[in-house]
Structure 1
Amino acid sequence: MNDEEHPVPWDERPAKAALTEEDLFLGQKSVRIMKLVYAAGILVCGGLAILVFSSVPWDTRLPYSGQFGRNGIPMPIAMLAVFVPLLGLWRSTTKADAHQMRKPSRLTAYIVGTGMMLVFVGAQWAMGHAILVEGGALPA
């Protein structure tokens, strides 16, 4: 019985086709490329953090006028807010099964992964700039 009321049980459904050797090879290649892209993002974010840490006092706060009357986010926390998720993305490329992907997955990894890395680097740049202005290292 294979209708709407009686779906096929999981053990009777056809299995997905196995990955070809070409898919595995291209998957390994895309993982290597994304690992390099994420490593470049980590280096840029780390360099920006070092620049900010060496240019302003440690008690500088990122301007924040949100709820509860807080007067700002501490500089080390603000600079780590982008760096830590980027490390998580890089770590995802080191999993044992990271290379097992077909063409749509590889294209998605290239587009979304690179876009996320660029957004993270842009956010680090914006937060670093705001902290440098607040700390007096850059003119407002």
Structure 2
Amino acid sequence: MVKEAAGSGAGDGADDRRYGEQDLLLGKKVTQFISILCLIASIVCVLIAVFVIFSVPWDTKMPYDGKYNRSGNGIPMQVALFPALIPIIGFWRTAKHPKAHQMSKGGRIRAYLFVSLFVLLCVFLQAYFAQGILTAGGFFGG
């Protein structure tokens, strides 16, 4: 059974698409844009995390009243500040893949649109979590 699929191109990394010189050049611009965007977003997220860590007491917890809050304590700030970096680093690594620049016009448009929006959403969520932690830690007073 397995021998029948051998050499069919399925799952062996073969790609029958041929990209023109212009497609490859524009694809490289997209991957360069994604790399720079992810680098900037990573720096912003790390700066936010460092600011929060040095601005509130070490045992500060982010308030959480969700479904899985069994302990009633919230989420430790050290844990709550770094999940936004995971998808950003993932997109950056994807853009560094050797064949990342091989994409059609539709793929380039989707990459610009969706990756940009998702990375910006991650930075916004990092800032939102930071604001919650700063409030819980008494940074804003009151």
Q: TM-score, normalised by structure 1?
A: 0.85
Q: Matched residue pairs, number?
A: 129
Cα drift, residue 16 of structure 1: 4.2
Gaps of 5+ in 1: 1-9
Give yes or no for contact 2:34–2:91 (8 Å, CA) kept in 1.
Answer: no
Match of 1:22 in 2: 22
Give yes or no for contact 1:65–1:71 (8 Å, CA) kept in 2.
Answer: no
Gaps of 5+ in 2: 1-6, 9-14
Structural RMSD (CA):
1.8
Match of 2:111 in 1: 109
| Rg larger for | 1
Match of 1:4 in 2: none
Code of the aligned partner of 1:124:
Q
Describe the superposition over 1:52-101 as per-residue Cα deviations: whole angstroms up to 9, x where unpaired: 01101111100012332431101011001112221111111111111110
Q: Counterparts of 1:85 and 1:103 in 2: how far apart (Å)? A: 24
Q: Secondary structure at the match of 1:80?
A: coil
Q: Counterparts of 1:90 and 1:17 in 2: how far apart (Å)? A: 24
Identity of aligned residues (%): 34
